[in-house]
Chain A
Amino acid sequence: MNKTIVIVGGGPAGLEAAAALGSSPHHVLILEKEHNTGGKLKNWHHLFPNFADASEILKSLEKSLPLNNSEIKYDCDVFKMEQMDGNLLVSLKSGEKIKADAVLLATGFDLFDAYKKEEYGHGIYKNVITSSELEGMFVNNSFPDQLKDGLPKKIAMVHCVGSRDKKAGNMHCSKLCCITGVKQAIELRKYLSKSSVYNFYMDLRMYGQHFEELYQEAQEDYGVNFIRGRVSEIAEISDGKLQVKAEDTLSGRPMKMIFDLVVLLIGMTPATSAASIAQSLALPKSGSGFLAPVHQHISANETCIPGLFLAGTCREPLSLQESITDARAAALKIIEWLKLKDNH
């Protein structure tokens, strides 16, 4: 019998899951809160570690959506779900209710709001920007005047902003900011050939395929500097330049450097859009507030609610590659579960 599968979120994980469910006989409905699909991938220019064009990847994800059994509804805010006779009733803010045999939450993540790290002055000092804002400049090929004049610039990349930080409320490691810092440092060196770029890091977690190589490339081919010390404080000096304080922990001395631009590598935080859904179902969360699966190792896509599944960064920080793999795994679990449901 054909069933309805609702996917909440039309980002990479949601799109990939829909594609993977294309071969099944079920009806797949994607509920996307924005005007278009793609999630945060839309705002990305080039991807680490190979500088792949993000828009190309998004196009290919969108292209593989099956036409026969899938449908996308835009501008849909899901705010509540309830269990009903073995199904899930999905409530939209518009008042519409949809009955689903299975639901996949692919609600993604939020970017850490950098203003919470008050000592970095984002939103106060104009030359303190976030990695996401920098990526947007590359996407739109639109840079602030002070970066355009071709003069040498000194730029700091600040790692771990809103990650591994109990004070900021986020104990977890977002794990992708490290490689993003390396990637963006190379891009800045390419764009501003006379610039010098300094990465202030605590640990560099180069865990993925070709990450470590990119780190080495950044040092050897692009002369990117790496200082092992977390930034403690940023202050504006009279001409809009920024004074950055950190300890060079390898030499054990405090240091103070002046920069033209500071890029804050903001981490991933649990999506606020998933919060009300989780609350309505009393869905457990991990310590950092991401949605918790039944079992982190062997049932990473299943939840304690029958018929409710998780994919992508709603459950933990993941790279694009990992999100896509995760989405396929979730699709497989959904198909298995619907089969079981049929047999009962």
Chain B
Amino acid sequence: MGRLYERLCEDLRCLEGLKSCMNCGVCTAICPSAEFYRYDPRKICDTVQRADDESIEQLLKSDTIWYCGECMSCKTRCPRGNTPGLLIMALRKLSQEMGYFTDSEKGRQQFAIRRVIGDSILTTGYCMRPILVNPANHPEQGPVWEWVYNNLPEVMDKVGANYLKDGPGALRRIAPEVLSEINQIFQVTGGQDFFQLIEEFSKDKADEMCLDAGELGGDNAYFSEVYTKNSGNHH
């Protein structure tokens, strides 16, 4: 039993996600990711239950663990009651704690997620808001969304939202004292430290790649790189 395996076993989602696997393949058979990527959740379960640190380290540094979409369809079907999707969550957590995530193209994307979603949670109280779905980055959203985006206050008002205003309602402004509670929770539970960890490892990697990661937001070269880079070697 190695060090990484033991750390994985400390994560509830590893305990819940993988009891024992008999390699039947029902998870892979219906996995949306297995059909799209070169990805096989069954093999991940098999690798982890072999408890070999060398293979686990390889997994933590690979693109493989970042292919899962966390739809959890695997949970419904596993005849042993495992959830490979939960195991993936434990692997991703450990990969970030160890700083291994910056070794892979898909892992490095965590930086962009932390910058966009992470900041949005702490500064606005929402995971996502209309303003984040910028048509320039989201051509797939189409011209109707572009029209909505350009007329947010009017459209939101028409459909009964309380856009950026106080009081209850959709898209209301979340009060500063509420945000300070949320920040406090992140502070106390380790959420803040985890964000910091992603920042630091990412900045090291950005330096190594001679790209600027800025201090905030997505207006920097490293963000653009991780947000858009697709080597095409994933299928």
- A residues with a Cβ closer than 8 A to B are 119, 160, 164-168, 202, 228-233, 245-249, 252-255
Judge whether B25 and A229 touch: CB under 8 Å.
yes
- B residues with a Cβ closer than 8 A to A are 22-31, 34-35, 40, 42-43, 76-81
Contacts of A245 in B (CB 8 A): 29-30
Majority DSSP secondary structure for residues of A touching B = strand
Judge whether A119 and B79 touch: CB under 8 Å.
no
Judge whether A249 and B78 touch: CB under 8 Å.
no
Apart from the given pairs A160-B79, A168-B79, A252-B28, 13 other A-B contacts in the complex at a CB distance below 8 Å: A119-B76, A160-B24, A164-B22, A229-B24, A229-B25, A245-B29, A246-B25, A247-B26, A247-B40, A249-B24, A253-B40, A254-B34, A254-B35
Smallest Cβ-Cβ distance to A229: which chain B residue:
B25
**B234 to nearest A CB, angstroms?**
15
Q: How far is the CA of A253 from the CA of B34 in the complex (A)?
A: 7
In the complex, number of A-B residue pairs with CB atoms less than 8 Å apart:
71
Judge whether A247 and B28 touch: CB under 8 Å.
yes
Judge whether B30 and A202 touch: CB under 8 Å.
no
Contacts of A229 in B (CB 8 A): 24-25, 29
Contacts of A166 in B (CB 8 A): 79-81
Q: What are 17 A-B contacts with C-beta separation under 8 Å?
A: A119-B76, A119-B77, A164-B22, A229-B24, A230-B79, A232-B25, A245-B30, A246-B26, A246-B29, A247-B28, A248-B25, A252-B40, A252-B42, A253-B34, A253-B40, A254-B31, A255-B29
Judge whether B29 and A165 touch: CB under 8 Å.
no
Contacts of B27 in A (CB 8 A): 232, 247
Smallest Cβ-Cβ distance to B78: which chain A residue:
A167
Which of A228, A231, A232 lies at the interface centre, i.e. has the most chain B CB atoms within 10 A of its CB? A232
| CB contact under 8 A between A231 and B26, given known A247-B34, A252-B43, A254-B35 | yes
Judge whether A254 and B80 touch: CB under 8 Å.
no
Smallest Cβ-Cβ distance to A170: which chain B residue:
B79
Judge whether B22 and A202 touch: CB under 8 Å.
yes
Q: How far is the CA of A291 from the CA of B78 in the complex (A)?
A: 27
Q: Among B29, B76, B79, B81, which residue has its beta carbon within 8 angstroms of that of A247?
A: B29
| CB contact under 8 A between A164 and B25, given known A252-B43, A254-B34 | no
Smallest Cβ-Cβ distance to A228: which chain B residue:
B25
Contacts of A232 in B (CB 8 A): 25-27, 29-30, 77
Judge whether A247 and B25 touch: CB under 8 Å.
yes
